[in-house]
Chain A
Amino acid sequence: MSDQPLFRFDSVSVVGSSGVRLGNVTLDVAAAGITVLVGPSGSGKSTLLRLCNRLEVPSSGTVQYRGRPLSEFDPLQLRRQVGMVFQRPVLFAGSVRDNLAEADGGAGQSDLEEALERAALEGSFLDRPAGELSGGEAQRVCLARALVAQPGALLMDEPTSSLDGAAVSRLEQLARRLADAGTPVIWVTHDLGQMRRIADRVAVLIAGSLRFLGEPGQLESGGDHELTKFLEDADAG
């Protein structure tokens, strides 16, 4: 297996109208397992994630996907290779089938059923109206929709923040299953407990800068006051 990182961020900054959202971040994301981006609200986690499928672009620095600069990719092709599940389950009007067809209008019945199966949903869901699903089911349909194009990586932006306990652990198990089956996952959360449950590697972002990168068991503040405060607050919360 190649040692090529999934994503390589090289001195990446993002400056928006409200100021610096990411400041000079250099980071390699491994091409296997689950990498968790963790940090407090407004720390730049989602911005970093959205750089991976070019929903945002860096103000400076470069991002590479599997050794190739993102700027060289057709953004539409890139987004089919790098699937994304958002914080809130966003389903379009119509049936589950209609939703999956938005990802690939040419996908056949077996492709759609396979995508549902990978999201732990039965084929009978295809004809269910999207508006009648529970929050957990809706988020799994969003996952299935992202999987229809058979992406080579999956971005998950706080995907459990609107779900209850059982639905949360179900989605965590699904991410683990997908990662173990060869689809690397980048998962954003502000929940340290969740990070410890699912992460193979963790990157901590605070105020737009990278404060830690390593395995979850190695996570300690190392004299960084802001990191100490985040770890204490997160564990207390």
Chain B
Amino acid sequence: MPGDAEFLAGDVDFVGLAASLVMVVVALVLSRWNRLGIERGIGVAVVRALVQLLGIGAVLAFILNPDRSLALSWFWVLVMLLFSAVVLSRRAGEVPGLFPIGLGAFTAAAVVTLGVIFGLGIFPLEARALVPLAGMMIGNSMNATVVVARRVVEELRDKRDEVEARLALGQSSRRASLPYVRSAIRTALTPQVETTKGVGLVFLPGAMTGLILAGVDPVDAVKVQAAIMFLILGSVATTTTVVGFGTAARLFTPDHRLVQLDRPAGT
């Protein structure tokens, strides 16, 4: 077992990292034993995670070097925004024209949440805070935006009769789609709200755990974690709202007709 000083520094050497792979072996054995057939998937996931994390570690070490300009960090945030919009439009490929909507949503969330965080001085505006906070904000928003985009398409496709009945009454496409967009946003936001409710009781979130492992006082770690959770909640709410309404707007023509929405093959 490492000594206290080494442990507080959060220093896991490559031998320690290799030892943690024992748990991957457990997962592989369980998969084989239960005939789940996901051994290859587990293997690919572990290798990808290792390569991606080591890669991002090297990039972060470069960017977060105190000698570098903060502009480099902002540039990195911009790259993350672009990349996240690409990932969103790929993961919800059935939604037409999602890239600009996603880029708008993530940018809006970045402006709002980072503006509050740094504008109110919750965290100091430096690379060490900017890059990971923006990363967490965008990463956590990603899943919710995929859910809301898909959900809006499903709702408007499955409830086409209702939507057209509303349009036939002379309602605008925005008003006719509102109940279904609201429902989709609620669905996408609920997991984040539940996570926020359950934090500390059901699970200890990653940032706080990481800080405590690195030797930070638990009360300070909790304060940081609370601020991050509220940042994420705000960004998820912002991105799902923009993507929800943006997706719905894409599914109507300018003269308020619902476009043809085909069910994906195999469903």
Chain A partners chain B: yes
Mark A62-106 against chain B: 1 for CB-CB distance below 8 A, else 0.
000000000000011101100110101010100000000011000
Among B74-82, B169-177, B237-245, the one that faces the other chain is B169-177
Q: Which residue of B lies closest to A87 (CB)?
A: B161
The answer to whether B169 touches A55, judged by C-beta atoms less than 8 angstroms apart, is no
Residue B164 is within 8 A (CB to CB) of chain A in the complex? yes
Instruction: Give Cα A86 to B170, complex, Å.
Output: 15
- A53 and B257 form a contact (CB under 8 A): no
A56 engages B169 (CB within 8 Å): no
Contact partner of B164 (CB less than 8 A), chosen from A17, A55, A76, A102, is A55
Contacts of B164 in A (CB 8 A): 55, 86
* B58 proximal to A (CB < 8 A): no
B67 within 8 A of A: no
Q: Which of chain B's residues have a CB closer than 8 A to the CB of A142? A: 165
- B168 interface residue, CB < 8 Å from A? yes
Q: Is A57 an interface residue (CB 8 A)?
A: yes
Instruction: Check A103–B169 contact: CB distance below 8 A.
Output: yes
B136 within 8 A of A: no
Interface residues of A in 148-169 (CB under 8 A from B): 149
Q: How far is the CB of A20 from chain B (nearest CB, A)?
A: 16
Chain B, interface size category, equals 10 to 19
**B contact residues around A118 at 8 Å (CB):** none
Residues of chain A whose beta carbon lies under 8 Å from any beta carbon of chain B: 16-17, 53-57, 75-77, 79-80, 83-84, 86, 88, 90, 92, 102-103, 142, 145-146, 149
Instruction: State in angstroms the CA–CA spacing of A17 and B262 once bound together.
Output: 11
Chain A residues whose CB sits within 8 angstroms of the CB of B161 once the complex forms: 86, 88, 90
B260 within 8 A of partner (CB): yes
Quick check: A76 and B168 within 8 Å, CB to CB? Answer: no
**Which residues on the A side are within 8 Å of B255 (C-beta)?**
54, 57, 75
B82 to chain A, nearest CB (A): 33
A188: min CB distance to chain B, Å: 14
The docked-state distance in angstroms from the alpha carbon of A233 to that of B169 is 36
B79 to chain A, nearest CB (A): 39
Q: Decide if B166 is an interface residue (CB 8 Å cutoff).
A: yes
Contact residue among A55, A145, A146 (Cβ-Cβ distance under 8 Å from B167)? A55
Docked CA distance A57–B258 (Å): 12
Q: Is the CB of B256 within 8 A of A83?
A: no
* CB–CB B260/A17 < 8 A: yes
- Are A80 and B170 closer than 8 Å at their CB atoms? yes
Among residues of B, the one whose C-beta sits closest to the C-beta of A80 is B170
B172 touches A83 (CB 8 A): no
Contact: B256 with A76, CB < 8 Å? yes
CB distance from B208 to the nearest CB of A (A): 41
State the CA gap A92–B170 with chains docked (Å): 15
With known contacts A90-B161, A90-B162, A92-B162, A102–B257 Cβ distance under 8 A: no
CB of A57 within 8 A of CB of B257, answer: yes
State A127–B166 Cα separation when bound (angstroms). Answer: 20
- Minimum Cβ distance to chain A for residue B167 (Å): 7
Residue pair B169, A149 in contact (C-beta under 8 Å):
yes
4 more A-B residue pairs beyond the given contacts A54-B256, A90-B161, with a C-beta to C-beta distance below 8 A: A79-B168, A86-B164, A86-B168, A92-B179
Residue pair B257, A54 in contact (C-beta under 8 Å): yes
Residue of B nearest to A149 (CB): B170
Residues of B within 8 A of A17 (CB): 260
CB pair A79–B260 under 8 Å, yes or no, is no
- Tell me the bound Cα distance from A50 to B161 in angstroms: 13
What chain A residues lie within 8 Å of B260 (beta carbons)? 16-17
Q: Would you give the shortest CB distance from B180 to chain A, in whole angstroms? A: 11
Contacts of B170 in A (CB 8 A): 76-77, 79-80, 103, 149
Contact across chains for A102 and B168 when beta carbons are under 8 A apart: no
CA distance A86 to B166 in the complex (A): 11
Knowing A86-B165, A92-B162, say if A76 contacts B257 (CB, 8 Å): no
How far in angstroms is the closest Cβ of chain A from B261?
Answer: 12
Alpha-carbon separation in the docked complex, A80 to B168 (Å): 8
- Among B161, B165, B171, B179, max chain A CB count under 10 A is at B165
Least Cβ distance of A50 to chain B in Å? 9
The distance in angstroms between the C-alpha atoms of A146 and B170, with both chains bound, is: 10
CB distance from B207 to the nearest CB of A (A): 41
Nearest chain-A residue to B165 (Cβ)?
A90
Question: Would you list the 4 A-B pairs with minimal beta carbon distance, nearest first?
Answer: A80-B170, A84-B168, A90-B165, A79-B170
The answer to whether B168 touches A83, judged by C-beta atoms less than 8 angstroms apart, is yes
Q: Which residue of A lies closest to B160 (CB)?
A: A90
Q: Which residue of the partner chain A has the closest CB to B176?
A: A102
